[in-house]
Amino acid sequence: MSSFETFATERGLIIDHLSSGRWVRVPTVDHPHKRNGAYFFGGDYAHCQNWATMENAETWFDGKPRTPFEQQDMNKRMAASKEIHAKERAEAQRKAAEKAKLILSQCELNQHAYMDSKGFAEVNVNVWNRPDLEPVMCIPMFCDAVIVGLQIIDIQGGKKFLKGQRTNDCYFKIGQSGQVFLCEGYASALSLKAILSALRMPYTIYATFSAGNLGRMAKNHPGAYIVADNDASGTGQRVAEESGLPWWMPETVGYDVNDFHKEHGLFKASQIFRKQY
């Protein structure tokens, strides 16, 4: 394995064959069935980015000594490859945003089996009915109050985003007054809304769709309170601790606040949360 492949592996990219001179989409450890990472290998330098965990691409160098002329040449090649990446990403994000708006225009507000499994059978969501395919629910994702993509959830709970869409700093917002709360999933946000409403607490809740993005959103909301997922990997707790913000998570490993809500019922869940908050 080359030094760059080691560098990329440490950042979560899965590269089974190294290609040169172009940006290549690859799976990542956190999303092994998707191409949620990308790299550019230029021989003496390379860039890579895991979109779930890295805000920007990071650059690797081979460490060999160079003359000022050689260094200047490499700097130009690096800048050119980063510019290509930025343009490709911007175009992909533009197309994804347009697709999100089109899909939402084809949705109808209705009940969905996934919401039933989360204890919110009565809640109407955006449901996209397609010929010969099962209906999926579509959660609009916003950045600076503008729709940039969707989280699409099927009946079994499988989740995906639109190809090429922006996910960093994206959210779905519930409420607009009182304490700001950050959580990961849409169902978690609904359970948190129910708990806070039972406690008669005003709220602004942001569903951030991933632990990594929750950490990014925390930087934009320094007064927020985090309701983390108790992942077996410890990711939710780690992100919450690193934010420096007050936080809480269910005691049971593998639980998020929706699991906690379903197990204890609204009254007991709200009382437990009040003691921890």
pLDDT tens for the chain, 277 residues: list them.
569 999 999 999 999 999 999 999 999 998 888 888 999 999 999 999 998 778 788 999 998 999 999 999 999 999 999 898 889 889 999 999 999 999 999 999 999 999 999 999 999 999 999 889 999 999 999 999 999 999 999 999 999 999 889 999 999 999 998 999 999 999 999 999 999 999 999 999 999 999 989 999 999 999 999 999 999 989 999 999 999 999 999 999 999 999 999 999 999 999 999 998 8
Distance of CA 135 to the CA centre of its chain: 23
Structure tokens given for 53: 């965990």
| CA–CA dist 232, 134 (Å, integer) | 31
Q: Answer whether 205's CB lies under 8 Å from 191's CB.
A: no
Q: Answer whether 148's CB lies under 8 Å from 93's CB.
A: yes
**Which of residues 78, 99, 120 is at a domain's end?**
99
| CA–CA dist 146, 198 (Å, integer) | 30
Give pLDDT, residue 110.
Answer: 97
**70: DSSP letter:** H
Any domain includes 134: no
Give pLDDT, residue 21.
Answer: 92
**Which of residues 84, 99, 114 is at a domain's end?**
99
Q: Answer whether 207's CB lies under 8 Å from 183's CB.
A: yes
Give pLDDT, residue 85.
Answer: 86
Any domain includes 155: no
Any domain includes 111: no
Structural domain count of the chain? 2
**124: DSSP letter:** -
Give pLDDT, residue 90.
Answer: 93
Clarify whether residues 179 and 88 are in a common domain: no
* One-letter identity of residue 139: I
Residue 90 belongs to what domain range? 3-99
**Which of residues 72, 99, 126 is at a domain's end?**
99
Any domain includes 118: no
| CA–CA dist 174, 204 (Å, integer) | 6
Which residue, chain included where needed, has tokens 């921890």? Answer: 276
Clarify whether residues 84 and 176 are in a common domain: no
Any domain includes 95: yes
Clarify whether residues 177 and 76 are in a common domain: no
User: How many C-beta atoms lie closer than 10 Å to residue 89's C-beta?
Assistant: 17
Any domain includes 177: yes
Give the CATH number for residue 265: 3.40.50.920
Any domain includes 116: no
| CA–CA dist 258, 213 (Å, integer) | 19
Any domain includes 120: no
